[in-house]
């Protein structure tokens, strides 16, 4: 890990921040991608550099192929070589399956599925021996009628993960981490997820460090590709149905 470089998308706070800090702790230089959270990205950049590794910031709205190509090219321009791509940035909105409009589906698919796809393709062109991790969601094994555009875009990302793992072999590995109940929604505290803990077989929420551990494990492996690790206390075993009538 020492001396390698990783791009972490949507890294300014929450899980992305935790992953970036965990990688920096083991000597990985970090390219912090962010969209709106400039001051959080800047304080993360300083915190990472205090750990003795290099850190660069790249601002971009991952809204199309061109901006994704720009992020990868800028990262290689700054860091010269990039070894890891962590596709973490995400849209997470409530949109019911019966009322979601085309623009809701587009917004979720663009950021959650197609941005990782375009970022990965450009990354593979620049470093055919790199490693990619996609952040999915443990709920993809169940149903989520309350956040249907989000849920279906993450399902697409799971297929993209396996497709690119095969396409980019033998030089690269492409894997995924699917978090379950880890953080409350932005702006809410842990009391807001307390009632959901009873749905988790291990009866508690996880920590960002648990997610970062899985990312590190996959980046350390040379012989795992096309896999998804669930960091969810067993929640995917329950096949939850959110907002359903069953």
Ligand X SMILES: NC(=O)c1ccc[n+]([C@@H]2O[C@H](COP(=O)([O-])OP(=O)(O)OC[C@H]3O[C@@H](n4cnc5c(N)ncnc54)[C@H](OP(=O)(O)O)[C@@H]3O)[C@@H](O)[C@H]2O)c1
3 state SS of 183 = coil
Interface stretch with ligand X, choices 7-15, 160-168, 218-226, 237-245 (CB under 6 A)? 7-15
Which helix (H) or strand (E) segment holds residue 33: the answer is strand 29-34
> What is residue 123's three-state secondary structure?
helix
Give the count of beta carbons closer than 10 Å to the beta carbon of residue 226: 16
Nearest distance from C-beta of residue 192 to ligand X, angstroms? 12
Nearer to ligand X, 38 or 245 (CB): 38
Residue closer to ligand X (CB basis): 130 or 206: 206
Residue span binding ligand X (CB under 6 A) among the ranges 33-41, 96-104, 120-128, 195-203: 33-41
Pick out residues in 61-120 that bind ligand X (CB under 6 A).
61-63, 88-92, 111
**Out of 4, 6, 8, 10, which residue is the one contacting ligand X (CB under 6 A)?**
10
| Residue list 142-171, contact with ligand X (CB under 6 A) | none
Q: Which of residues 34-63 bind ligand X (CB under 6 A)?
A: 34-37, 61-63
Concerning whether 150 is annotated as a catalytic residue, the answer is yes
The single residue of 143, 150, 190, 230 carrying the catalytic annotation is 150
Outline where 26-64 has alpha helix (H): 38-49
Instruction: With H, G, I as helix, E, B as strand and everything else as coil, classify residue 84.
Output: strand
Indicate if the alpha-carbon torsion angle 194, 196, 199, 202 is positive or negative. negative
CA dihedral 127, 133, 136, 141 (to 10 degrees): 110
């Amino acid at each position: 890990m020492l001396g390698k470089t990783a791009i972490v998308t949507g890294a300014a706070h929450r899980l992305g921040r935790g992953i970036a800090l965990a990688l920096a702790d083991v000597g990985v230089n970090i390219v912090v991608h962010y969209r709106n959270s400039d001051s959080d990205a800047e304080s993360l950049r300083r915190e990472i550099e205090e750990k003795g590794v290099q850190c660069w910031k790249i601002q971009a709205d991952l809204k199309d192929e061109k901006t994704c190509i720009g992020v990868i090219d800028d990262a290689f321009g700054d860091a010269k070589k990039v070894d890891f791509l962590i596709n973490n940035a995400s849209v997470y909105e409530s949109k019911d399956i019966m009322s979601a409009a085309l623009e809701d589906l587009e917004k979720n698919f663009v950021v959650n599925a197609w941005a990782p796809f375009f970022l990965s393709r450009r990354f593979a062109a620049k470093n055919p021996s790199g490693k990619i991790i996609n952040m999915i969601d443990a709920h993809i094994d169940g149903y989520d009628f309350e956040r249907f555009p989000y849920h279906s875009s993450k399902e697409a990302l799971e297929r993209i993960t396996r497709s690119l793992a095969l396409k980019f072999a033998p030089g690269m590995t492409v894997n995924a981490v699917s978090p379950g109940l880890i953080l409350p929604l932005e702006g809410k505290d842990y009391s807001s997820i307390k009632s959901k803990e009873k749905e988790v077989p291990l009866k508690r929420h996880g920590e960002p460090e648990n997610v970062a551990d899985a990312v590190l494990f996959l980046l350390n492996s040379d012989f795992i590709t096309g896999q998804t690790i669930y960091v969810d206390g067993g929640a995917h075993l329950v096949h939850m149905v959110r907002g359903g009538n069953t």
